[in-house]
Amino acid sequence: MNRSILSPEVQAYIADQLNADVHRIALSKSQFPLVSGQELASQIAARKRSEKKLPTWFGKTQIYYPALISIEQSSSEATAAYKSTLLKGDQVIDLTGGLGVDSYYFGKAAKTVIHCEIDQELSEIAAYNAEILGANNISFLHKDGIEYIKTRATQTGTVYVDPARRSAAGKVFLLKDCTPNIVANLDVLLSKAERIIIKTSPLLDISAGVRELRNVSEVQVISTRNECKELLFIIDKGYTGAIKITSVAINATIKKLSFLESDIESTDLVQKGLSEYLYEPDVALLKSGKFNAIASRFGLQKLDVQSQLYTSDDFKAEFPGRIFRITDSVSITNLKKQKDLMGNVIVRNYPDKPERLVKQFKIKSADEAFLIFTKVYNQGYILLKANILQYY
């Protein structure tokens, strides 16, 4: 950690160069004797990346930024703040603390937080930034989190871990192949904590994760702006009941919807005709895999057996996802007769790509109008003209 980066002159330069070419800066001779061009470029790139993801860090002067990859791999403030509502007990141990975003928000909900980080420089950076941010109830340990918890004599409320999902062979998709190996160390963690929260990639299959673990009480799928961000496995000591699958869409408001993993999907939910409103679920809701249960929960019907679009005569603002009002429907055979088609093209359960359709039918863009190419039960492939009423 080069503290010369924190000098007023260097900080002013970094703030002034946020939109500059960082590659040029990295290759140029630095005007600061104690700070290299590469260090300046790294700070600028990381700060720029933090602007929307970590606005508290971005908005504070004297923040020291780690390598860009640490920013990219960290939780966003929005997801970290939400996860702080899931804690049990007065103390949290963050086994893979990293930049410290999760620990910072855990500290707002728990009395004490222990931040473990195996990388010495990253541990120092996180500790320094916490001081700048006024987070004074977090202890920073430059230690392997698993080894640390093995040596603890006392219990804690919650253990949080975000295992690395890369190996020498590339990305991995099983928990046992991540670092640290939570599957192999689950007995140790359960002996020391009332609750374990495991953050994984949203690419991980929920059923596969559940099979690798035990005492799972809930799996939460978290999205922001219709982008799946995290999959959380929540393990509670001694829990043997039904597992909840919860979608969490974090936008201007938070919309949550829970199902039981064991719920049997009904098959009698196909729509016999179009209604006025069209519903497209948030990606977190789709990741739950409960496609027909979604329809049952909101009193909707599916457009087709293989479709994840839904329809209803009623407007349901509590629905987590986009809602459209259908203004017209056109069969594909009559589509060539349409003149001056305008709208944002969406393709769902339809055998073509948006860019090809735009070119084929000379479709012009529009702000609030949408052209939805899809399939409707007993009608085949169809174009729906619609206006959007609710975004994510």
Phi, psi (deg, nearest 5) at residue 271: -75, 140
**Which of the following CATH numbers is that of domain 3-69: 2.40.50.100, 1.10.287.3510, 3.30.450.20, 1.10.10.1110?**
1.10.10.1110
**Is residue 52 over pLDDT 90?**
yes
Strand partners, 113: 92, 138
Distance CA 100, CA 98 (A): 5
What does DSSP say about strands 344-347 and 369-376: parallel, antiparallel, or unpaired? parallel
Site of tokens 């719920």: 263
Q: What is the pLDDT of residue 266?
A: 62
The amino acid occupying position 378 is N
Distance CA 145, CA 136 (A): 20
pLDDT band at 161 (very low <50, low <70, confident <90, very high): very high
**Is residue 276 over pLDDT 80?**
yes
pLDDT average, residue stretch 108-125: 97
Q: What is the pLDDT of residue 165?
A: 77
DSSP H or E segment with residue 286? helix 283-287
Distance CA 164, CA 371 (A): 40
Class of domain 74-260: alpha beta
pLDDT band at 172 (very low <50, low <70, confident <90, very high): low
Q: H/E/C letters for each residue in 310-325?
A: EEECCCCCCCCEEEEE
**Is residue 167 over pLDDT 80?**
no
Which of 131, 137, 148 has the alpha carbon at shortest distance from 113? 137
pLDDT band at 37 (very low <50, low <70, confident <90, very high): very high
pLDDT digits 0-9 by tens, 330-371: 998 888 888 889 999 999 999 999 999 999 999 999 888 999
pLDDT average, residue stretch 195-200: 97
Q: What is the pLDDT of residue 171?
A: 66
pLDDT average, residue stretch 46-53: 96
Where does the chain hold its CATH 3.40.50.150 domain(s)? 74-260
Q: What is the pLDDT of residue 219?
A: 97
Torsion sign, CA atoms 147, 215, 103, 176: positive
pLDDT band at 267 (very low <50, low <70, confident <90, very high): low
Q: What is the pLDDT of residue 16?
A: 94
CA max distance for the chain: 76
Q: Look over the chain and give the mean of its residue pLDDT values, rounded to a whole number.
A: 93
The amino acid occupying position 335 is L
pLDDT average, residue stretch 300-315: 91
**Is residue 216 over pLDDT 60?**
yes
Edge-first strand order for the sheet with 216-224 is 138-141, 112-116, 91-94, 156-161, 193-200, 227-236, 216-224, 244-250, 254-260
Strand partners, 281: 321
pTM above 0.85, yes or no: yes
Map residue 295 onto helix, strand or coil. helix
pLDDT digits 0-9 by tens, 6-19: 999 999 999 999 99
pLDDT average, residue stretch 23-49: 95
pLDDT digits 0-9 by tens, 229-257: 999 999 999 999 999 999 999 999 999 99
Local structure of residue 365 (DSSP, 8 states): P
Distance CA 199, CA 233 (A): 7
Min mean pLDDT across 172-181, 222-231, 344-353 is at 172-181
Min mean pLDDT across 92-96, 148-152, 194-198, 332-336 is at 332-336
Distance CA 249, CA 294 (A): 14
pLDDT band at 69 (very low <50, low <70, confident <90, very high): very high
Where does the chain hold its CATH 1.10.10.1110 domain(s)? 3-69
Q: How far is CA 364 from CA 336, 342, 343, 384, in A?
A: 15, 5, 6, 16
How is residue 239 written in tokens? 């829990």
Percentage of residues in the chain having pLDDT higher than 70: 96
pLDDT band at 287 (very low <50, low <70, confident <90, very high): very high
| Greater model confidence, 195 or 203 | 195
Which of 145, 247, 252 has the alpha carbon at shortest distance from 202? 247
**Is residue 270 over pLDDT 80?**
no
**Is residue 170 over pLDDT 70?**
no
